[in-house]
Structures are given as C-alpha cells and as structure tokens.
Homo-oligomer: A and B are copies of this chain.
Amino acid sequence: MGSSRGVRHDSMRARNLAVVLGEIRDAGPLTRAALAERTGLTKTTVSKLVSDLLDAGVVAENGAVRDGERGRPGVAVRLSGHRVATLGLEINVDYLAVCVVDLTLAVRLRRTKWAGNRDSRPEHILGELRSLAESVVAEAEAAGLRISGAALAVPGPVEHGLLRTAPHLGWRDVRVADLLDLPFKVDDFEVDNEANLAALGELWFGSGARDFLYVSGEIGIGAGLVVDGSVFRGTYGLAGELGHVVVEPDGPACRCGGRGCLEVYAGQDALLGKVGSIPELVARLEAGDPAALAACDRAGRALGLALTSAVHLLDPGMIVLGGVFAPLFPWLEEPAGETLSTRLGQMRRTPPRLAVSAIGADAAILGAAGLVIQRVVADPARALGL
C-alpha cells in the first residue's frame, strides 16, 4: 500500500527548489520575476531559492535582459553545466560505450570500445566496462565536473536491477550493479533495458516529441513507450517486448519458444540473411537487389502487423524507428505504414506517424545519462545536499 511520508518544512523547500530548477530547464533563461510569475511563489521566495541554486553551481546568471521594455531589466538565470554531470553506460553485443552528460544535456565525453561480447563471462565484460567508466570519470573530474550518478543500458529485460536474460550475450539472471561495483549509492545507479533508455535518449536528445513508441531494432527488437515525457515500464519492468508480439500464429519457431514472433521476420538475422552487415544490406537495397528488397518488404509488413497490436494496446503518440531500423527506414516505411494504416482502419482519426530516430547509435547511453540528470533536476536538494 502507499505508505507515503508526510511533508515537512524541508520537503517543502526541496520541492520548491525542484519546481524552480525545472522551470528554468523547461522554459529557458528566466528572470526571478518571471519565475515568480510562473511558479506562483513570491519574488522573495524565488530569490532565496535561486540564490541556493547559484551557490550549488547548477544555475548561472545570464546577464541583464534587454527586452526593450521600460523599468529595471531583470537578470536571467539559466542552467549551468559546469559542475554537475552524470554517466551513461551501455553493454551491447558488439561494443561497450560510455558518455558523460552535463546538466544542460551537453555531451562532455564519449567513448566506445568495440568488442565481441557474444557468449562472454559477465565478470570479464563488466570489468572492462568499469575501467572504461573509471577513466572517463577521472577525466570529467579533472575538468571540474562532479559525477552525481550513472545508469547502464543492457540488451535484455531488467527486473528490479536484475538482468533477467540477455540471449545474445548468453547471460541469465545477472545482478549487474553488484558485479560492476561503481562508487555510487544505490539511488544513484540504475540498470535498465536498452530500448527503454534509447527511448529516453530520443526524448531528450531527439526530435522533441514527448509521446512516442521508440522501436529499437538491434539483434533483438525492443520498444520503449514514452508517455508525457516518462517511460512506461509495466508491472515488473518488462513492458515493450515488441519483438515477441504475435505476427503469424503458425509462423516459424522463435528462440523464445513461440511461433511467428515479429523477431522472426524483422530481427537483424532475418533482415541480413546471408548479407554480412547492415551497411552492406543498405548498399544492396540501393542497388536494387531483389532478395534484399523482399526481405525488407517482408520485415516491414511484419513490423506493421506488430505495431497494429502495439498501437491498440499502448496508444502511442507516434512511432519512432531506431537502431538498425533507422538506416533501413526508406525501405520499411511504406510496407509498415501501409499495413498499419489499413489495419487500424476507423479505430483512429489518424494512425500514429512513423518517423525515423533523430539520433544514432548513441541513443541508449545518452538516455541513460539523461535519466540521471532528470533525477538531479527533479530533486536537487537530495542530489546536491542543499
């Protein structure tokens, strides 16, 4: 049951710090007077709160505002990225990646290590990731940044910090946080599915939409639903497994135990067939190779069918295709979109728009780092000890 705690003076202040900081983030540089107007707090209170935020180094004054109006010009306050930053981490089948993002969501550092991680020992991979992270953190700290948390994207479903299964890594039930052992408190470190974090990457670093289903085409197919700026995770955090939605009840067997799942038709293995890589596939598609075109068409139709079910169940504002689906978008758009709008029929005024992801392979690490930034802004008092 909801055993929620009462509110005391300090939580009131904490909340108001978050409100002011959130408003500065959402509505760009603002003067104290404008902040008072927008938050409903008095100028006095806003002044005191802003002063604390200035001391903490999370905001900075932007110089006088020259808006041509009469009267004393205000001093606008904006988010400052010079002190607080967070760490985004990713383990994928082919690489490890790390980035540092500051409070303004500027990417400060970024590093990738290519590695064949198929069927590898968790301890080994996580050790590599730790040393990668440590070097990046040291560099960030040398630049005067304080890393206030981290999040890690993994290629598989995560339940309460436990990686249930990562089929292509060959991992099962791995307590990732314990093995990785970074020097963060539990509250400041999170592990989540690659698709969920990539969806958040699209949210904060992409096109600016606040409601969409991000479809992550990797070796497997996942999806992350963003509704009004936050990810829907379901009961155990396992929502969004688009790859195993039923497309053809009597179709070919899938590794999951089912038959005719989306992954069978549109997973990376199905798309590539005998082709070696995605860039090569794109080259063949551009050259008009019939086998490649047929595979894409089939994948697109299957994707359209799975998305039909997803739209009925999840009601996304739009659909963003990412991962390997991004470079293939020109060949997937028509069969998938056609299938989707035919099937949805009269159920919707207009079917959700199909769009290509605005950011590339970095989606997941950016989303991971952004998630922690989000938390700092949502509760600066806790994150900064104000």
Number of copies: 2
Report if A312 contacts B (CB, 8 A).
Answer: yes
- Determine the interface band of chain A, counting residues with CB < 8 A from chain B: 35 or more
- Judge whether A19 and B39 touch: CB under 8 Å: no
Residues in A232-261 with C-beta less than 8 Å from chain B:
232-249, 256-259
A178 sits at the interface (CB 8 A): no
Q: B residues within 8 A CB of A39?
A: 4-6
CB atoms of B314 and A313 under 8 A apart: yes
> Which residues of B sit under 8 angstroms from A242, Cβ to Cβ?
312-313
The reply to whether B314 and A239 form a contact with Cβ atoms under 8 Å apart is: yes
Residues of B within 8 A of A347 (CB): 157, 241, 244, 256-257
**Which residues of A from 15 to 73 have beta carbons under 8 Å from B?**
15-16, 19-20, 22-23, 26-27, 38-41, 45
Q: Report A239 CB to chain B, min CB distance, Å.
A: 4
Q: Is A305 an interface residue (CB 8 A)?
A: yes
| Cβ-defined partner of A3 (8 Å) among B6, B7, B23, B211 | B23
Most chain B CB within 10 A, of A7, A238, A246, is at A246
A227 to B16, CA, bound (A): 29
A234 touches B314 (CB 8 A): yes
Is A344 a contact of B258 with CB atoms below 8 Å? yes
Q: CB distance A257 to B342 under 8 Å?
A: yes
Q: Which residue of B lies closest to A14 (CB)?
A: B7
Is there a chain B Cβ closer than 8 Å to A287's Cβ? no
A345 at the interface (CB under 8 A from B): yes
A2 on interface, CB distance cutoff 8 Å = yes
In the assembled complex, the Cα of A245 lies from the Cα of B305 at a distance in Å of: 9
Is the pair A40, B5 in contact by a Cβ cutoff of 8 Å? yes
Contact of B344 with A305 in the complex, beta carbons under 8 Å = no
Q: Which residues of B contact A27 (CB under 8 A)?
A: 1, 3
B346 adjacent to A312 (CB under 8 Å): no
A346 touches B315 (CB 8 A): no
Is A165 among interface residues, defined by CB-CB distance under 8 A? Answer: yes
Asked if B16 and A4 sit within 8 Å, CB to CB, the answer is: no
Q: Are B309 and A238 in contact (CB under 8 A)?
A: no
Q: Are B246 and A309 in contact (CB under 8 A)?
A: yes
Are the C-beta atoms of A165 and B346 separated by less than 8 Å?
A: yes
Contact A7 B19 (CB under 8 A): yes
Say yes or no: A3-B38 contact (C-beta < 8 A), given A249-B248, A309-B245.
Answer: yes
For A307, give the chain B residue with the smallest CB separation: B246
User: Does A308 have its Cβ within 8 Å of any Cβ on chain B?
Assistant: yes
Q: In the complex, which of the residues B7, B238, B317 contacts A348, with contact meaning CB atoms closer than 8 Å?
A: B238
Q: Report if A278 contacts B (CB, 8 A).
A: no
A75 at the interface (CB under 8 A from B): no
Residues of chain B within 8 A (CB-CB) of A45 are 6
- Mark out the residues of chain A between 199 and 235 whose CB falls within 8 Å of any chain B CB in the assembled complex: 211, 223, 227-229, 232-235
With A232-B232, A235-B211 known as contacts, the answer to whether A26 contacts B7 (CB < 8 A) is no
A-B contact pairs, 15 of them (CB 8 A): A6-B19, A8-B41, A12-B12, A238-B348, A241-B347, A242-B312, A243-B312, A244-B312, A244-B347, A245-B312, A256-B346, A258-B342, A258-B344, A310-B313, A314-B314
